[in-house]
Structure 1
Amino acid sequence: MTIIAAADGSALGNPGPMGWAWYIDDASWAAGGAPYGTNNIGELTAVLELLRATAHTGEDLLIHCDSRYVIDSITKWMPGWKKKGWKKANGKPVLNLDIMQALDRAMQGRRVRFEWVKGHAGHPLNEAADERANGAARAYQKGSPVASGPGFTGSAPALRDADPDPAPLAPPAQPTLFDGFDEEPAVSLSISLSPDELERLRARAREARLSPEQFLRALI
């Protein structure tokens, strides 16, 4: 049997109030968040919480996800990161290391496939997860209770017969220009700022307790 679910994250302001959610059906879903975080943290946390919630079932898991960063981190780059002592190809520490290591542990012994879906394009499971993740982020923004959901109930609509010839961990990808890299290639970006714009950037970075470069990177 295969459990089919979607996982999604949301951060208002990115970074800002953050929410995550996974959704199987109306009887099996969960959401949560934090006062401050990024979209990537929300997306990663949603997958991690889904893995944890279904760990006891022993069932295969198919996760619909609209974040290529999450899918590639788990299915492409993580083995190389581990060999390098959780360092990237440029020698810098892996971002969101605690969550990445928790995901690595949660994946052990599980048969998990990821399927990329386009966000905000009408995919039913993705839309349901996005709505709940965004709702959690807004709850943190307002300081109101989060609708956390019923959790995993193992309801029948979430399960189907497993394929007689299960697909590999990740669906095969078409060759790309960047094949051979163990992570996304670095891209340099230059931007001209007026003195006023630069001061506003520095002020917002100080409020977030980040460097201007870290603040800009967190907006991605």
Structure 2
Amino acid sequence: MIIAAADGSALGNPGPAGWAWYVADDCWAAGGWKHSTNNVGELTAVLELFRATAHLDDELLVQCDSQYVINSVTKWMPGWKRKGWRKADGKPVMNVEILKQIDEAISGRRYRFEWVKGHVGHPMNEAADERARAAAEAYRSGGAVPSGPGWSGACEADASAARPVLADAESLLEERAAPEAAAVAGGSAAGAAAPVATADALFDEALFAEASEHDDRSPADEALFDFDDPSADWLTMTLELTSDEHTRLLERAREAGTSPESFLRGLI
């Protein structure tokens, strides 16, 4: 199995932006644009990772801190394709050209996605984030963009060596972040049912935090409350809350020992 992290960064979101995937210090790649969004960076990092490993038969474990990316690839994309790349409300899918390329790149591949909470010290995620941000900053300053060595001959050895190190790091993070620190989603070329990130995980506290200058959870992001699951037996509702309302909701959900989503459903 190849274990890799993928991340994006946008300074201003939108603004100077970067993407990066990371396996080890001598096995990574990055790039970016003068003006783009964090979601585009996150999606491009995943796309470039699959392209870089297209010649391999190994299963690919993609660590990603973006619920939008994970759900787009593992949960929503089949329905979007059936509808001509349109969402349940008939609106065009955002970032559709990149998603189409990802759809092509994952064909025939064995892969899984693992959600990791960003900016909590996860070593692989932090390494990818640093490189994506460095690319974005290079585009902002007009400097040389750190593109990385790409997939070199040392990458296979690096991917194998990363497994025990990663296991130790994840054990430490589980102690620090408890059950909210990880949710797993995946897919397979065989078409078997794949585990997806839980609905509760979509309402992690990070989704309610104020967006940083390189965060993909901007309040203006249409995907924030977009549960476009064509197989789900529910109605989709968009709810806008102030920062104070967000805070009160989180506090009451914690007191009840549940997620904000489950707490709201209980009120209904």
Q: C-alpha separation between the residues in 2 aligned to 1:180 and 1:16?
A: 27
For 1:22 and 1:175, the matched residues in 2 are separated by 26
Name the structure 1 match of 2:76.
77
Quote the residue 1:194 is aligned against: none
Q: Return the alpha-carbon distance in structure 1 between the equivalents of residues 121 and 196 of structure 2.
A: 24
Cα distance change, pair 179–9 in 1 and its aligned pair in 2 (3 A): closer
Question: Take 2:137 and 2:237, find their aligned partners in 1: how far apart are those partners?
Answer: 32
1:157 is matched by which residue type in structure 2? Answer: D
How far apart, in 1, do the equivalents of 2:123 and 2:19 lie? 17
CA distance 1:158–1:96, shift in 2 (3 Å):
same
If the length of structure 1 is used for normalisation, what is the TM-score? Answer: 0.77
C-alpha distance in 1 between matches for 2:44 and 2:19: 6
Tell me which of the two structures has the higher relative contact order, counting C-alpha pairs closer than 8 angstroms and 6 or more residues apart. Answer: 1
Letter aligned with residue 158 of structure 1: A
Cα distance in 2, alignment partners of residues 8 and 123 from structure 1? 12
Deviation at 1:58, TM superposition (A): 1.9
Q: Which runs of 5+ in 1 are unaligned?
A: 192-220
Deviation at 1:35, TM superposition (A): 0.4
Task: Note if 1:156 corresponds to 2:157.
Answer: yes
| Distance (whole Å) between structure 1 residues aligned to residue 96 and residue 149 of structure 2 | 29
Does residue 180 of structure 2 align to residue 181 of structure 1?
no
Q: What is the rounded CA distance, in whole Å, between the counterparts of 2:95 and 2:79 in structure 1?
A: 16
Q: Is the 8 A contact 1:3 1:158 kept in 2?
A: yes
Tell me if 1:45 matches 2:96: no
Alignment of 1:197-212 (within 5 A): none
1:27 Cα deviation after fit:
1.2
| Structure (1/2) with the larger helix percentage | 2
Q: Which residue of 2 aligns with 1:116?
A: 115
2:128 & 2:83 partners in 1: Cα distance?
34
| 2:193 equivalent to 1:145 | no
| Whole-Å separation in 1 of the counterparts to 2:148 and 2:121 | 22
Mapped contact 1:114–1:171 kept (Cα < 8 A):
no
- Counterpart of 1:27, as a letter, is D
Structure 1 residues 57 and 90: alpha-carbon distance in aligned structure 2, compared to 1, 3 A threshold: same
1:208 counterpart residue number? none
Distance 1:186 1:52, change over 3 A: farther
SS at match of 1:32: strand
Conserved? CA contact 2:50–2:106, under 8 Å: yes
* SS of alignment partner, residue 53 of structure 2: helix
CA distance in 1, matches of 2:40, 2:76: 17
Shift of residue 172 of structure 1?
Answer: 4.7
Give per-residue Cα distances to partners, 1:177-218, cap 9 Å, x unaligned.
Answer: 998933994515388xxxxxxxxxxxxxxxxxxxxxxxxxxx
Q: 1:122 to 1:85 in 2, by over 3 A?
A: same
Q: CA deviation at 1:157?
A: 2.6
Q: Can you list the C-alpha shifts for 1:160-185, whole angstroms capped at 9, x where unaligned?
A: 7x9xxxx9625454465998933994
Distance (whole Å) between structure 2 residues aligned to residue 33 and residue 179 of structure 1: 28
TM-score by length of 2: 0.64
Question: Number of residues paired by the alignment?
Answer: 185
Alpha-carbon distance in structure 1 between the residues aligned to 2:228 and 2:14: 31
Aligned to 2:59: 60
Gap runs ≥5 in structure 2? 164-184, 188-193, 204-225, 243-268
Q: 1:3 to 1:180 in 2, by over 3 A?
A: same
